[in-house]
Amino acid sequence: MTVSTTNIVRVKRTARVNLRVLRSPAAVISIVWLVGLVIASVTGPLQQDLTAVLQGPSAAHLLGTDELGRDLLSRIVTAAAPTLLIALIAPIVAVLITTPLTLWAARRARTESVMSRISEIVLSLPGMVIILAAIAAVGTNMPAIMAIFGVLLFGALYRVFIGQAMSLHKQLYVEAAAVDGVKPMAASLRHVLPNMSTTVIVQFVLLFGAAIGVQAGLAFIGLGPQPPEPTWGGMIQAASRFIFQQPWMMIPTGGVLALTIIAANTLADVLSGGTAMPPPLISLRRRKRRAAADAATPESADATVAAAASTVEHEPSTGGLVVRDLVLGVDDGPDLVTGVSFTVEPGTVMGLVGESGCGKSVTSHAILGLLTPGLSVRSGAIEWDGVDLAAASESAMKRVRGHEIAFISQEPTRALDPMFTVGSQLTSAIRRLRGVSKREARDVAEQLLVDVGIIDPPRVMKSYPHQISGGMAQRVAIGLALAGTPRLLIADEPTTALDVTVQAEILGLLRNLVAERDMAIVLVTHDLGVVADICDQVSVMYAGQLVETGSVRDVLVAPEHPYTMALLAADPHAAVQLTGATHLASIPGQVPAPAEWPSGCRFAERCRFAQEECRSAVPLEPRADGVGQVRCIRRDEVRGRQEEWCQPVTSGGAS
Amino acid sequence: MSARDVGRSIVTDPIDTTAPLLEVRNLVVQYSKNAPPAVDDVSFTIARGETLGLVGESGSGKTTIGKAILGLQPVTSGQILFEGVDITRAKPAQRRRLHGDLRAVFQDPFSSLNPRRPIGDAIAEPLRVAGVPSPERRMRVADVLESVGLPRTAGERYPRQFSGGQRQRIAIARALVTDPRLVVCDEAVSALDLSTQAQVLNLLADLRAGADLGYLFIAHDMAVVEFLAQRVVVLYRGKVMEQGPADEVMRNPANPYTRVLMAASPVPDPDEQARRREEWRRMRTEWRQETGVIATPV
């Protein structure tokens, strides 16, 4: 399971929305505008000067005067408070009706379908006609009209709320509450409503803006409060009558209405916090900055020369991947990965192994230039075909990503867009990456699905991602990754979310791809069984650095680093003969957070073999047996003692 | 766990001590009228203090059975008896009368905790429902956090401040705070790293020792079940393939499907794994030919 280990900072959640609003200048201006209008409206005097009618702006009348010589500014301001306060009625009524009904309907399929029908009926009602009919019946009682408008908003609002409420209801913590014996409505109020509060608030503010517009519209056609009572709609109407004598009048009257509605929408925008667009998982902009920074620093030139020299010295590999001394870090924060180097030859599989929080996923993302915003490559090189991808421009990366290096993730469903069929996603990727016609792309797509072991490609092509099983989705995701005929596949925990049977099948598929296409794979995993099954080379990572590398046989059969030994002992599949054991071997404690790495051996804290000498920095040294490296100062003493990890650890408390 | 009788003191209904802790009789679950049953005539029992492993691949109906027992999934036919009481179609109010004897730990440690509430709230929720006064709730939350290896004060923190393994400990704490008789663990460790898996499995074993506590341990991986379970039920497409004592099933699986399933878990030794892989392929082909299962790649 990939855990975001970069999230070290403690944030108080409750304060977050408020802070976000106050940090945004747009939101602050919007609030000042809305509140200021109300305050000014209560305090502002009404002035009239019959000698100065239809005037433009002047020192005496800042926004000019209307046809009866009344000061426009004071009239606009006076009309503000009733308009804004009465406009609040509509969203209040709408939210008060819709929220409880939504929470109720989200729990029961039958209620939900009835509610949906009702909301469709409400949606199909001609709102304006009903409002006009109501005015005919009750007169121009604006609060009552706004309440009716609020009821009419139910249809649209229900649609917005129900989707989110239903998905929240599927969350395990709502089920857990049911197991706790919490009453259904109480569970909805405690667990569902708070999590949809942002949506409710945003909709409230948006509807508030809409209600202001409706009020103005009604006043414009003379159905609002009657003159001489100032209303925005009424003033706009007056302005339209005198548009040829004094066009200026339209500007302040129309402008204030527009600005108020914009203020409400801006506020809604900030409150939603950009949830309309999901936060980017990856940052593409970052790359440019680093390239620019490199060019700016003079010593980077030397570094490039040195890197180039070491390339020559390293025997330029035959089109493989060479990662050299890669350092990744949080901007203005600690390093996440320090000095990682490895080589992946064509047609081989390199396993990147370690617990969550060891930096293996980040390393794999860096190869593709797809780091989470806030992370960046600090130094080191990622060489692919003689090009340093760590310093490459975004356009150079585009030629590599998808075409030569592809990616498959732990969650196959995340690689697939739920809105499009499998077929359309595959063909569009193939057309983009191979530049072929639509027809040709379809044939290629079908062939790819056959290649990844799908028996009935035409049916799968027509399916949407949610209609296929997890294992099938991972096959499709692999097919998608193959769309550009890549020579290197980065697979981040590709089987972790699958059951053992499907895992065995997917591993078989990957093995065939390596054999048939001479493809290389960097496989990120925590499961040493998966490594044994498919990898040729292994790099074991702990707390952001390599601790042991070598061939799969050397590392798994004769591990030299205590961490590798501990991982092996903790693998439940390895402990076949341990029937009747009271305890499984486990590694006490947790991987330390990047900011808390000790200067010496980073594993010493949890290592049963650790001694005082382990507190000093440990270099990577060649393995005693085979090709590869080990980072342990006591490796000669601990070699062959992996059985000891199966005994309970006496020192260090399990946390 | 001193306060175990808080909810219990008001219980007057006699508990049949001779009845098994949980009995599932001929359980059938259909998601819709025309769909093939997700669970098809499944029967098993769990004795007091016993751990039963429920193993199968995805789509075998193992999670559905767990949900049916917890009342989260309507049952088509069959019976579920908990301590001799029929809870097959129990209403939430009737389930509350179980006083937290039947609890659950879910698979995903990330969505099983409400991100907007401190974890202490989540753990105390069943106590709040049972009307336990607030000071005692706090004490019991601190006690149970300590018993799962977290600091006593961790209750004030929010879910995102914990790692996956820690969250699963919190989920276990929430299950155990009512001092239950049976905990349904639905893939409780599958989302964790292997080393963290071992820690959590050890914790479950420790908590069970000396307590009157049984688990229904649902997993897709035989090796994970092996350590904890005394008995195992192997499921395939909603049907029971095999059930029996864990070590017997593991050592000498009677059903060919069990053998296929066992061979699917990879071992961390390249040569041994290559052998197992071949064996898995061969056995699966044979099993498919025997049973006439069409090779549908999943």
Query: Helix crossing, A72-107 with A142-152: angle to 10°?
Result: 40
Same domain for A366 and A435?
no
Has residue A439 been placed in a domain? yes
pLDDT at A210: 92
Same domain for B183 and B294?
no
Same domain for B193 and B281?
no
* B195/A530 Cβ within 8 A: no
pLDDT at A580: 54
Has residue A323 been placed in a domain? yes
A577 and A594 in contact (C-beta within 8 Å)? no
Cβ–Cβ contact A357 with B under 8 A: yes
Beta-sheet strands, E only, within A411-544 = 488-492, 520-525, 537-542
Distance from CA of A199 to the nearest CA of B (A): 15
- Among A179, A192, A527, the strongest candidate for a mutation testing the B interface, having the largest count of B CBs within 10 A, is A179
Has residue A378 been placed in a domain? yes
Mean pLDDT by 10 residues, chain A (655 residues): 37 52 83 87 71 77 80 85 90 94 89 92 90 87 91 92 87 84 85 87 90 90 81 87 86 89 87 52 45 44 42 52 92 88 93 89 89 86 88 86 88 80 91 90 91 86 85 88 91 86 89 90 93 95 94 93 90 62 78 87 90 88 90 86 73 39
pTM: 0.78
Name the residue of chain B whose CA is nearest to A184's CA.
Answer: B92
- Among B185, B193, B218, B278, the strongest candidate for a mutation testing the A interface, having the largest count of A CBs within 10 A, is B193
Can you read off the two tokens belonging to residue A439?
């027809």
Same domain for B175 and B296?
no
Same domain for B237 and B274?
no
Look up the CATH number of the domain holding residue B151. 3.40.50.300
Cβ–Cβ contact A278 with B under 8 A: no
Same domain for B291 and B148?
no
Same domain for A388 and A240?
no
pLDDT at A305: 41
- The residues that bridge with B298 in the sheet, in sequence order, are none
Has residue B42 been placed in a domain? yes
Short-list B163, B183, B165, CA closest to B174: B183
List the domain range (segments joined by +) for residue B166. Answer: 8-251
* B197/A570 Cβ within 8 A: yes
Distances (CA, A) of A475 to A468, B191, B255, B288: 10, 20, 29, 21
- b/e map of B89-98 (b: 16 or more CB within 10 Å)? ebeeeebbbb
Q: Taking CB atoms and an 8 Å cutoff, what residues of chain A touch B163?
A: 3, 356-357, 590
A92 and A151 in contact (C-beta within 8 Å)? no
Has residue A54 been placed in a domain? no
Task: Give one word for A357, left, alpha or beta, with left for phi > 0 and alpha for psi -120 to 50.
Answer: left
Cβ–Cβ contact B51 with A under 8 A: no
Q: Considering A218, A243, A272, which residue would you say is the last residue of a domain? A: A272
Q: Flag residues of chain B having pLDDT under 70.
A: 1-17, 293-298
Has residue B258 been placed in a domain? no
Same domain for B179 and B283?
no
CA B179: distance to chain centroid? 16
Same domain for A466 and A318?
no
Task: Give one word for A493, left, alpha or beta, with left for phi > 0 and alpha for psi -120 to 50.
Answer: left
Has residue A571 been placed in a domain? yes
Name the residue of chain B whose CA is nearest to A567's CA.
Answer: B195
A177 and B125 in contact (C-beta within 8 Å)? yes
Number of domains making up chain A: 4
pLDDT at A299: 43
Instruction: Name the B residues in 222-261 with CB < 8 Å from any A CB.
Output: 222-224, 226-227, 247, 250-251, 260-261
A328 in helix, strand or coil? Answer: strand
A127 and A150 in contact (C-beta within 8 Å)? no
Same domain for B241 and B284?
no
Has residue B3 been placed in a domain? no
Instruction: Name the A residues in 446-465 with CB < 8 Å from any B CB.
Output: 453-455
Backbone angles phi, psi at B95, to 5 degrees: -65, -35
Same domain for A627 and A590?
yes
List the domain range (segments joined by +) for residue A558. Answer: 552-575+584-655
The rounded mean pLDDT for chain A is 82
B205 and B228 in contact (C-beta within 8 Å)? yes
* A571/B280 Cβ within 8 A: no
Short-list A146, A90, A156, A162, CA closest to A119: A156
Same domain for A91 and A214?
yes
Tally of CA atoms within 13 A in the half-sphere of A23 that contains its CB: 8
Has residue B257 been placed in a domain? no
Q: Considering A272, A293, A322, which residue would you say is the last residue of a domain? A: A272
Cα torsion A399, A401, A405, A406 to 10°: value is -140
Has residue B223 been placed in a domain? yes
Number of domains making up chain B: 2
Has residue A38 been placed in a domain? no
pLDDT at A41: 80
Has residue B259 been placed in a domain? no
Classify residue B172 by burial, with Cβ atoms within 10 Å: 0-12, 13-18, 19+.
buried
* B195/A567 Cβ within 8 A: yes
Across the interface, of B58, B197, B268, the residue whose CB is closest to A529 is B268
- Among B113, B222, B228, B273, the strongest candidate for a mutation testing the A interface, having the largest count of A CBs within 10 A, is B273
Look up the CATH number of the domain holding residue A387. 3.40.50.300
The rounded mean pLDDT for chain B is 85
* A180/B112 Cβ within 8 A: no
**What DSSP string runs through A83-152?**
HHHHHHHHHHHHHHHHHHHHHHHHH-HHHHHHHHHHHHHHHHS-HHHHHHHHHHHH-S-HHHHHHHHHHH
Query: Helix crossing, A250-272 with A25-43: angle to 10°?
Result: 130
Can you read off the two tokens belonging to residue B244?
């029996």
Same domain for A230 and A202?
yes
Which 8-state DSSP code applies to residue A200? H
- Residues B8-61 pLDDT 10s: 433 444 455 677 899 999 999 998 888 888 899 999 999 999 999 999 988 888
Same domain for B56 and B170?
yes
Has residue A361 been placed in a domain? yes
Rounded Cα–Cα distance for residues A105 and A102 (Å):
5
* A471/B58 Cβ within 8 A: yes
